[in-house]
Every structure is written in structure tokens, then in C-alpha cells.
Chains A and B, each alone.
Chain A
């Protein structure tokens, strides 16, 4: 019984120390708060019933592509965000403050408003 209880408590304490040390390192992560901050102005401009397409400069197979898409959807809810380019409006999630205009033109996307921090609202002329 002692061994069982000791192992359980030691494991819990060990992981707690790990967790606290990670937390106190205070590293910035690309999490919900980061996305909420970047998209805060954008969110004010979209109506609840809006359906948006989504474009990012992440490589398609990059694991962060999926999580950033989900975070964008979470931030912009109840607007619906689709991972395709078949809607008239497109939310652009770029990682540079100055978006690549040539890449947008190549997809026939016309910037309507630049919200800064790589977030843009574009009109989709390709539809």
C-alpha cells in the first residue's frame, strides 16, 4: 500500500514540478489568446451568418496548418470558416505583417481590408 501511494504521489509531484517549470519559463505560444488578439478587429466586422473561405501561407501538410485553421474558426465563431476558396469572402491568415500581394493576385483575391498582423479580408474574384 505504501509503495502504491508513494508512487502515485511521487508521479504527481514530479509532473507538477515539470508543469510549473514550463509555465514559469513564460514562453510565447501560438495559442487561442494570440489568435483572439490578432483577429479581434476582424471579428467585429463579420456578421454572425457570414461564411468565409480561408487562406493561409502554411504548407498544406504542416501540422500547424490544421490547428491554425481551427483556431481561426474558434475565434471567428459564429461565422463559418471553410478550408477552401469557394466563398465570395476570404479570411487570410499570413505570418508576415506585409502580405504577399503577388500570391493574392495569383488566386484572384482582392484585399478589402488589412487588419494588420497578417490578417486580411479579401474578395474572391475567382468564383
Chain B
């Protein structure tokens, strides 16, 4: 029964995504994009609905079921009846991807799913954060009945009562509707987010840069063992990474299709769920707004600023307002932010804390991901061979992603320096997870900028025009990059 409700949640999200971007019937890149986007939309909306229902009507399964049924029915009816209109999201023009890449992608999917299943069999309740925070909160919400507010009790050490409730609410909603607790709910939610992030990366890179780049990006993310492991162990960092990637990918698509402002609406929706997932979501929301502002002012027409921002803000508002309501009305102060200003100033004044944090950030670049060799070096080598090539129309997109990720990193760096009393323990505990939150979006930025490997001596537009000719192109040794026919920026 639990899985029926999980499927309904996903279907609701998919229908909302399909309502926004109606896809032609049948299997296509467009539908992969919607399947993946639907995961985060469905779970985010279900979670908000559950919390609202709990606050307004108490823990009543009947009211929740009625509330949920109305929203799901409207979404599914509107989504499924939406006629294909506007743009079709297809593979970007480029050289045909070698057949073996598709096979390797499927192999990476098999490895990732097996890894997820084995982790879930070994730790069905997840790891530390899952049973100390997220699933514990879900139990308080579900088992607590009228006393659900005990989830916010400051008497429970290590449960971080101020943490937002996207994951616990989504899980507790499935348990409430199914009238029983099953560990299948958090596992299924984690699975959807993990594979959803991979699907979203593949489809968005495919739409923006073509099939070859998309398949390589997908293989790298699926083979990032730490990412799959974090997902399977039910940490909130993977859902967070999903919302970061979704927002940035949708803003990139907005730049690719400037006439269609539904991308800004969808980006607002996903960005709005970030603060409801983790406290870092506030940092991301500020970072993405600032990054977008900088990117548009620097590279785009300023007239698009107001139209895009209005739609983004309107779509983000409901979930941001709900999170603010939770924070202001229910949540106790955050344990890190609750420290005295004089202590924080003293932390910031210690030069050693800056050095330790910097050292940690640099080391983690080489350690993250769980690869046999540091992936950052391999990506560096890949860049050396193919180089970056950013077309003019992609400058705003890439600037948005890079500035947002840069601001996130800078913000996290400042948090590490200023807040934790034991900085070394905090770095050990959470820096790898911070990197994993940003990893899918960083891969989006990398493959958005990188040249397709087969186009080392051929301008992209020429290869696009002669798709059949492109098939015969074999990877060549690096030669002098060809001059593009239209203005572009080289970042190397």
C-alpha cells in the first residue's frame, strides 16, 4: 500500500511537470526530463500538504486523504489532458553518440541501483542522520498523534528540532495514508530522489549540449559511489542536491528558450522546496537569486529580469512561506545560530580556523566521490583534452550556475569558519556531504562548458548541420580549436 501512495505522489509531480511542459506521447528525452523533475515536485508538494493539513486539521487520515485526493486529481487531470504545445525538449544537435556509451550508461545504472539496494538491505533504516533526525521526526509526526509537536522538542538531543520537514513529512504522509509504518517509504523516497537527480542531469545536459555529453555526465554521476551511498542511507543531502540541480538546470533551459517563461516558474517551484529540505536551502535561495541577477545584468537583456524574477518568486513563494511559518511559529532556534555573537566573532578572529577550513575544502576536492583516482584530476585532464567552449547564448546560463555554486561554497566556508565550536569534527562530519549537494550541479556546469569530445577540430554548428557526416567523425588528437562562426567565449 505504501508504494501505491509513493507512486501517486510521483504521478502528481509528473503531472504538474507535464502540465507545465506538455510532452508528446511516447518515450522521449522530454518525458525523461518530466519523470525526473516530477520526483522532486511531487514529494515537495506532498510534504507541504501534509504539514499544512497537520497544522490546520490535526493528524486526521481522512482529511489528509481528502486533501491529497483533490490535489492529486486536479494535477493528474490537468497534466494528463495537457496537449503538447510550445517547445519540445529534444537532444541538442551534435555528433551522434557512440552506441557503446548508451551501453555503459545502462551498466552504470545497474551498478548504482545494485549499490542502492545492497545499502538498503544492510541499513533499511538508513544511517546516523536518518535515524537520529529524518526518520525519527517522521516517527514523531506519525506516532505522536495529537502530540506531533513533540517533534520540535528541544529535550531530544541531536535531533535538531529546527530542521525543516520535507523528508519527514513526506514519509509520515505515506504512513498516515497507509495506516501503518513501513521502512519502504523512506527507502522509496530516497530512491526517487537519487535516480531523479541522475535523470535530471542526463536530460538537462542532453537538451542543452547533446547526447554524448549527457551520457558521459550521467555515467559520472551514477558512478559517484558517495552520492548513491548518501541517497541509500537516507541523508537529506541528495534531495537537497536534486533541488539545487533542478533549479539551476531549469534556469539554463530558460536561457535556451527565452520566450517560454514556464521554466522560471518551474525553477521557482524547485528552489522553494530547498529551504523546506535543509537549512542550507536558505543559502541556496539567496545564492541563486543573486547569481541570476549578476548573470542577467552582465550577459543578458535587462528587460527579462523583471519577468523572470516575478514568475520565479511567485512559484517559490508558497513553499518558502510555509518554511518561514514553520521557522517562526514552531521551530526553536538553530543550535549553531543560537550561539552568542561574541563567541562567533571570536571564532572568526582565529586565523587557524580559516586555514583548517581552507585545507579541508581543498583536500575534499581530491577525496570526494569515492573514485579510485581523484575525479577532479580526471575532469582536469578531460578539460585539457577537449577544452571549454561557451557559446554566447549559454553565457548567462553558465554564469548563473557557476556564480550560484561559488556563492554556496563561499557561504558554506563562512559557516564552517564562524559557527561550529569544534571545527575539525564538523568538517569531518559534513564537508563531504556539502560537496555532494553541489556535485550534480557542478557536473551540469562542467558539461555545459566542455566541448563534445568528437568536435575537437570541427565547430559545433557545422557538425550539427551534418549529422550523418558527424557520425563518421572519429575522436582525434587535440588540434588547434577551430574558430566558431559566431561570437563565443573561451574560458580556458
Contact = CB atoms under 8 A, between A and B. Distances in A.
B421 interface: no
Interface stretch (B69-77, B249-257, B378-386, B477-485): B378-386
Contact of B139 (A3, A8, A11, A77): A77
Nearest to A70: B132
Contacts, number: 130
B156 A15 contact: no
Interface of B: 101, 104, 107-108, 111-112, 114-115, 118-119, 121-125, 128, 131-132, 135-136, 139-140, 143-145, 147, 150, 153, 155-159, 212, 216, 219-220, 222-225, 369-373, 375, 378-379, 381-382, 386, 453, 475
A8 B220 contact: yes
Interface of A: 1, 3-5, 7-16, 19-20, 22-23, 31-33, 48-49, 51, 66-67, 69-71, 73-74, 77-78, 80-83
Contacts of B223: 8-9, 11-12
B475 A78 contact: no
A51 B155 contact: yes
A80 B155 contact: yes
Contact of A16 (B104, B115, B135): B115
B314 to A, nearest CB: 37
A70 B378 contact: no
B216 A80 contact: no
Contacts of A51: 155
A4 B371 CA distance: 11
A12 B222 contact: yes
Nearest to A77: B139
B132 A16 contact: no
A4 B220 contact: yes
Contacts of A5: 101, 104, 216, 219-220
A47 B153 CA distance: 17
Given A9-B223, A12-B111, A23 B104 contact: no
A48 B378 contact: no
Contacts of A70: 128, 131-132, 136, 158
A71 B370 contact: no
Contact of B115 (A3, A7, A19, A82): A19
Contacts of B371: 7-8, 11
Nearest to B382: A4
Given A12-B111, A12-B223, A80-B156, A7 B373 contact: yes
A27 to B, nearest CB: 10
Contacts of B373: 7, 11
B6 to A, nearest CB: 21
Contacts of B114: 16
26 contacts: A1-B216, A1-B382, A1-B453, A1-B475, A4-B216, A4-B382, A5-B219, A8-B219, A8-B222, A11-B223, A12-B108, A12-B111, A14-B372, A15-B115, A16-B114, A16-B118, A19-B119, A31-B123, A48-B145, A48-B147, A66-B158, A70-B128, A70-B131, A70-B158, A77-B140, A82-B156
